Amino acid sequence: MLNEIIVAVLVLVSVVFLVMEIFIIPGISVCAIISIIFGGVAVWYSFTKISVTAGLITMLIWLVVLAVAIWMFVRSKALDKMSLNTELKDTSNLYPIDKVKVGDTGIAYSRLAPMGKVTIEGMEYEAKSLDGFIDQKSEVTVTDIEDNKLIVKLK
């Protein structure tokens, strides 16, 4: 009777750690490893101390309980709370880059470190600085256009 209680406690601890891994602290994997260790010890203990039949039953019960816990997690709203649901609305360049020519001048809309935004003739573009960091509202000159980005330097 004591052996069966030990196996039941080991399986219960294994399930508790699995549920903690899934619902409380996902992604850390410490609880998942502990859960697998306790479940494995429960199965091993029931095989060696009770009988082969008890070991098979313990393994089956442990796997079913794990499957039910995972199924409950998938059906719960926990995944919705953990997932990122924002939409990206920004684009690389708000205006067509073909309107800009080498030599055009503009103003740094944001700080270029070395990437940022520049405004040329009232239109905003993504740009890369040749001079390293360029402060916001500094005058810049387009020196090149590559990969749909403007290459600029201080004027």
Nearest one of 55, 10, 60, 7 to 34, comparing CA atoms: 10
Nearest one of 135, 14, 114 to 65, comparing CA atoms: 14
Predicted local distance difference test score (pLDDT) of residue 85: 67
Nearest one of 96, 95, 127 to 109, comparing CA atoms: 127
In tens digits, what is the pLDDT along the chain, a chain of 155 residues?
888 899 989 988 998 888 888 777 767 788 889 988 999 999 999 999 999 999 999 999 888 988 887 788 778 776 676 666 666 555 555 567 778 889 999 999 999 988 999 999 888 888 999 878 899 999 999 999 887 789 999 98
Nearest one of 84, 122, 82 to 104, comparing CA atoms: 122
**What is the pTM for the complete model shown?**
0.48
Q: Alpha carbon 154 to chain centroid distance? A: 38
